[in-house]
Amino acid sequence: MANFFPRWTNFLPLKIAICAGAVAGGAVLAFSYYATPKTLAAGYMPSQPIPFSHKIHVDQLGLDCRYCHSFVDVAGHSNVPSNNTCWNCHQHVQKDSPKLQPLRDRMDPLLKHPDFGKPIEWVRIHKTPDYVKFDHSAHLNRGISCQSCHGRVDQMEVVYQQHSLSMGWCLECHNAPEKHLRPLEEVYNLNYSDADVTKYTKDAGIKTTEDLGLKLKEHWQIAPKASCATCHH
Amino acid sequence: MSKRIWQHPEVPADETTVSWRGLGQLEDTPAFRTWMEREFPQGVAEMANEGDAETSRRSFLKLMGASTALAGFGMAACRRPESYIVPYNKAPEWVIPGKATYYASSMPRAAGATPLVVTTFEGRPTKVTANSLHPDAAGTDAFAQASVLDLYSPSRSRKVLKQGQPAPRADFEAVIAGLAADKSAKIGFVFGHDVSPTRARLVKELTAKFSAAKFYAYEALEGSASKVLGDGVRAVADFSKADRILSIDCDFASLDPQGPVTPFFDRRKPEGKTYSAKPDAAGMNRLYSIESAFSMTGGMADHRLRVRPGQLLEITALIAQRLQIAVPTVPINPADKTLKWVTAMVDDLVASKGKSLVLAGSRLPQPFHVLVAAINEKLGNVGKDKPLHYVRTDAQGLGDLVSLKTDLENGTVETLVLLTPANPVLDAPADLKFGEALAKAKTVIHLGGRSDATAHASTWHVPASHYLESWSDARSANGVYTVVQPMILPLYGECVSELELLSALLTDDGKLVTGEGEGGTPSPAHDAVKKTFEAIGGKGSEPWRKLLREGFHAGSTYEVAEVKVPDTAVAALPASPDKTFDVVFATDASVYDGRWIDNGWLQEAPDPITKQSWDNAALIAPQTAKDMGIYDEIVALETWNGATGPDGEGEHRTAPMIKVKVNGTEIEIPVMISFGQAENTIVIPLGYGQGFDGEDKFNRNAAGSAPASHVGQVGVNSGFNAYPVRTAATAYFATGATVEKTSKRYPIAVVQEHHAMYGRALAREISTIDSGDHKGDFAEQLHNVKLQGNDGHAPPNISLYKQQDRAGKPLLSDPLHQWAMTIDLSSCMGCNACLVACQSENNIPIVGKQQLAKGREMHWIRMDRYYAVDKGNDFDPGNPALVPQPVACVQCESAPCETVCPVNATVHTEDGLNAMAYNRCIGTRYCANNCPYKARRFNFFDYNKRNPLVAHNLYKGPFGEKQVGEAPHLQRNPNVTVRMRGVMEKCTYCVQRLKDAKIRQKRGQKQEALLAGKASPDSAVTTATLRIPVDSVKVACQEACPAGAISFGNKLDGDKSAMMRAKGIERNYDLLNYIGTAPRTSYLARVKNPNEKMPDHQWIGKATIHMH
């Protein structure tokens, strides 16, 4: 009787096993990567009920972050402006813009719109899980800028999430805060760069923002904690 | 799978002290041993039977396989759901989203308002705490702490009822309008015993408008003192001036307040209130207590005499007689020991003439108040700058329940408005038959927060606004004018407040305006309060704003009343016949008179003495039980279920029932042993048994008078109603009761043996005198506190773990803050205020009776209560010492829990907290198994999400009834994670408050930089900039404590912190010091201040001193 299986089949089961293992392993790796906040959350750019442009308001008009996010440096939660903040200007400015119609419906009593007096529901972009307690004021008052977490919002037509906001990403900064520390005067200046450093030091050795950050870390006794209860309680 | 057992040193043979927490421990039952060796009872963590276990393992694997397969299809769902940020339309003033706002207010109560500071988040009140600025501030008690839950209670009444059926509120408004128009209406009003100046003013206006109006005051547990002292007159104690205090069945520290109590506790600390002086017994007060059953006050007493209630008057008369007050009418024939005790005690009172204080329980019958008034007068204790003074309150000219009944029957009152917090259909003395009298009224309007028995018996029931929703005012114990301001508009539109109702009746058109008027005008109650205040604090907006900011008007007190001592020829009370029992109808520490029956926190808080939750039981002394032949049956309740094995023990634990016959009526009720209680005395707490549904297997609603509709989900099927056996003459206690055994048993939930700890002399006690037992004088006893129990001889423990990392840096590395706590057992009475405060601060769920019986209670603070008696005690061996000890996580520096966690979910923070990362916990429970303090609690179910009060609901898994988004969730503290099923939790020193304080402190850096006018990189930051001010952060339990027993602070503040001063004194000791955990919470031994002339002095303060 002829040899039914040729010689090369001797290693076939092993090859199949290796291939299957590689495919399974690859699938696990691919899923693990896909499930990280880096791919799931970063880049999230939902459309808002009113297409508010940070670029126009901050970059072109020069509004400070705190005009609208008024409690960001006193409270843990950064408030989104209430309708009356928008209405302060927009009852006079851009009175006919169709983009602002939802605001007028809610604020102008003359329109008698059913939504009058109701809040606007903004879509949440940056979200930490419920078991994470992030405090805005703790960071801003110690020299961490809005930009470190939110990116160049002043350049965004439509706001999106730039960073993953994952725990690993938080810890990167908690372990090396000098990369992000800046003088308190520059916290709301999203345009801060190495060129600004000389305003704050006469030391020729300090050239970059990171150099200045290192100095501030020493001087201000910045020692960010990395134990669990810092953010989870 | 018992835990690895630490080899504790054996009890030496010559040990003379016996100490125990529960009956099972005293009798050393096998059940108790098992509680001790495990962190949770056997069976709790296992499947009910083999079949279940097998199926579950298989289905678990099946489900896991299926879910892995399905995961591929579900990929799209990985994108998180869209969520929204909804800001205000028009931002209200003062509200910063995410930050708490605090308002001063107060809780009106019969013994004087409790001044409060209320924490609100975006308008939601979530937590109350004492207003420490208030001159009558005396912490809070469990009731005040739990009152915030009532606001959100799902069983709160929210609809107008007509004859018990929902009716439109407009119909009720028409009734009020009709009443307001009829100036000749025969209308009667029944108030509670709280004092409100605005109400007193409106009463005058009502009298002017309705010529036939009558006014009454009624509460179920009211006393008769004002009948002796005069209309509206009360006695108020000033404990700071009292060197010697005698309490005659008066629980002034807890359930029967007689004046702000904090000064009493301040003088229980030999080093002074803030631990800044040298220990000195001379500054301490001395408390004598004569009572029938242990009260919190009796547990604090230096000398305690247990007397059955029928003999109390005789003892009181004896005291009077020793003071040369003639008491011709009471036969006095005391036992020899009693005579010696009383004689020595009276001598001590006389020696401190003018600085002593005698208090009688407010619920005692009239003769007591006559005698006590005479005794205080004789001792010169009454007057300005004396320990006692009499005041005249605004509550005058109010009739009592008996006169109301007469007026109802003869038609003097046709329309009755019930504004009292009591529930007279249930709780009025049975022989008054108040329900029948009520039926004679044409219209009965009942205003109340619960649709209880009275609500159903009334023509109209109107839901009442909670005190956190309404404008009012009140007077504190000394009469300081105190405002009650709303934190939020009434949650339910139909709610009406008392003042709003009275104001509507005073208007011409009778229009009932509640909450706020049209166009946002304030409620009429606001205007009424403001008008009252103008007469007291002056016109203009400045005093009014100050009142709202501080919550009280300084300098306003009651006027002092002169009281003429009445004739002491008082009527003797009937003697207790032989072979009968005395019955005490006790005030309950959980439901008070029944008004708190629907409050889950209070129901679940174990009774401070019996440690029973969710029910009441008749309490008897152990010797009485032996005489009745029932002792062994009761002890059996502590054992395993016979020989059948441990599974399903917990909820199957039962107590035998007895039949108590008194006043010609009988009640069947389970019976429990209570130590230190007078013999032949049965104590039955009142207020339970208000409603039963189909789940009740004991047919407690046989008469049909207690349907489930009278209570909510919390109070249903809870306890036994003792009101039907109480008569007007025996409102507090009755004599001549007989008892029969029955064959029935009733399941009870008792926490006293859960989480039992090894070790001896856990709660320590010393005395200020040398009682000749070779333990030395006060100084020597102080010196030896640290050597009591095992600590005297156990060798030091060597830890495998180092306190430094590999580089040699300390692991507890924070140079700014290192948190620590002390708990002073000398002033702790064990009242549960901290336990409930912790629950409201930290989002701790209730678990229900069945779960609690299994040992699954979630309270982070375990209020231990130890009894101890010396075997040689020949004065009264049945009167053990009672030492409470609150135990929460002690934040060990070498924490045994941390080393066993496989996922690092419990780790140390740099500032010395043993933190819990809930989101990391996978629920192995290794940590709880390894905790020698048994301070960890495990969520066996999702108690927050699944309603544990719906029968069998927890076991239905995803099909069970959820309670997400219901009103109680509005009470949650937004800064604390709400834990889910399978997660371990425990005390973390209110880490959310610590973090908040630190962040607030760091903001100061910016302020300084701005003020200095320099560029921020040039501004200096020092330790002082970043360290929070000394003792400025308070944890929830500390804040709630009326006794100032808890000190908390930063170890690095040194002696500037009261906590560190307390740690420095000799009474300070670590719990289980010999096992080497280095806990951050330490305890201060209790100091008893006995009188060496007393016959029992050598047994006082010795509860633990002889322990090895």
Gap between the terminal Cα atoms of chain B: 30
Q: What is the CATH number of the domain that holds B240?
A: 3.40.228.10
Encode B146-175: b = buried (16+ Cβ within 10 Å), e = exposed: bbbbbbbbbbbbbbbbeeeeeeebeebbeb
> Is B240 in the same domain as B327?
yes
Question: Of B537, B566, B597, which closes a domain?
Answer: B537
The pair of three-digit structure tokens given for residue A140, joined into one six-digit string = 């801003």
> Is B366 in the same domain as B282?
yes
Closest CB from A118, A184, A227 relative to B1016? A184
The neighbouring-strand residues paired with B603 are none
Among candidate residues A179, A172, A115, A109, the one with its CA nearest the CA of residue A144: A179
Closest CB from A118, A122, A137 relative to B84? A122
Min Cα separation B979/chain A (Å): 9
CB contact under 8 A, B96 and A75: yes
The pair of three-digit structure tokens given for residue A37, joined into one six-digit string = 């906040």
Q: Tell me which of B919, B1010, B1019, B1028 to substitute to probe the interface with A (most A C-beta atoms closer than 10 Å).
A: B919
pLDDT of residue A197: 87
Chain B: residue whose CA lies nearest to A215: B1017
Q: Has residue B191 been placed in a domain?
A: yes
Global pTM reads 0.90
Question: Of B731, B750, B769, which closes a domain?
Answer: B750
Beta strands in B756-892 (DSSP E): 765-767, 819-824, 862-870, 881-887
Q: What is the CATH number of the domain that holds B489?
A: 3.40.50.740
Using DSSP's 3-state secondary structure scheme, residue B638 falls into: coil
Interface predicted TM-score of the whole assembly (ipTM), two decimals: 0.87
Chain A: residue whose CA lies nearest to B843: A233
In the chain, the amino acid numbered B621 is: A
Looking at residue B977, what DSSP letter applies? -
CB-CB contact of B1031 with B273 (8 Å): no
Cα gap A200→A143, rounded to integer Å: 13
Instruction: Give Cα separations from B847 to B937, B969, B1084 (angstroms).
Output: 12, 15, 32
Using DSSP's 3-state secondary structure scheme, residue B430 falls into: helix
Chain A: residue whose CA lies nearest to B987: A233
> Is B267 in the same domain as B407?
no
> Is B1045 in the same domain as B930?
yes
Min Cα separation A15/chain B (Å): 25
Question: Of B375, B392, B409, which closes a domain?
Answer: B392
Q: What is the CATH number of the domain that holds B650?
A: 2.40.40.20
* pLDDT tens per residue, range B1017-1058: 887 788 888 899 999 999 999 999 999 999 999 999 999 999
Q: Has residue B62 been placed in a domain?
A: no
> Is B967 in the same domain as B898?
yes
Q: Has residue B324 been placed in a domain?
A: yes
Q: What is the CATH number of the domain that holds B1080?
A: 3.30.70.20
Q: Does A118 touch chain B (CB under 8 A)?
A: yes
Q: Has residue B58 been placed in a domain?
A: no
- Residue length of chain A: 233
Going by C-beta distance under 8 Å and a sequence separation of 6 or more, which residues neighbour residue B1008?
B1019, B1025
Q: Has residue B563 been placed in a domain?
A: no
CB-CB contact of B1009 with B1019 (8 Å): yes
Strands B161-162 and B165-166: antiparallel
Among candidate residues B443, B472, B468, the one with its CA nearest the CA of residue B457: B443
CB contact under 8 A, A228 and B917: yes
Q: Does A28 touch chain B (CB under 8 A)?
A: no
The residues of chain B scoring below 70 in pLDDT are: 1-13, 24, 28-80, 635-652, 964-965, 967, 1108
Cα gap B829→B300, rounded to integer Å: 6
A215 pLDDT more than 80: yes
> Is B905 in the same domain as B1008?
no
> Is B788 in the same domain as B737?
no
> Is B983 in the same domain as B998?
no
Closest CB from A85, A135, A233 relative to B988? A233
CB contact under 8 A, A220 and B975: no
pLDDT of residue B75: 46
Burial class (CB in 10 A: 0-12, 13-18, 19+), B1078: middle
Q: What total of structural domains would you count in chain B?
A: 5
Cα B109 to the center of its chain, rounded Å: 14
Q: Has residue B107 been placed in a domain?
A: no
Min Cα separation B1005/chain A (Å): 8
> Is B1058 in the same domain as B1003?
no
> Is B1013 in the same domain as B1060?
no
> Is B519 in the same domain as B434?
yes
CB-CB contact of B700 with B714 (8 Å): no
Q: Does A142 touch chain B (CB under 8 A)?
A: yes
Min Cα separation B5/chain A (Å): 30
Domain membership of residue B311 as a residue range? 233-392
The pair of three-digit structure tokens given for residue B904, joined into one six-digit string = 């690092």
CB-CB contact of B938 with B923 (8 Å): yes
pLDDT of residue B700: 86
Closest CB from B919, B1003, B1016 relative to A137? B1003
Q: Has residue B404 been placed in a domain?
A: yes
> Is B1050 in the same domain as B1028?
no
Q: Has residue B437 been placed in a domain?
A: yes
Question: In the structure, how many helices (H) and strands (E) does chain B have?
Answer: 31, 42
Mean pLDDT of A113-132: 90
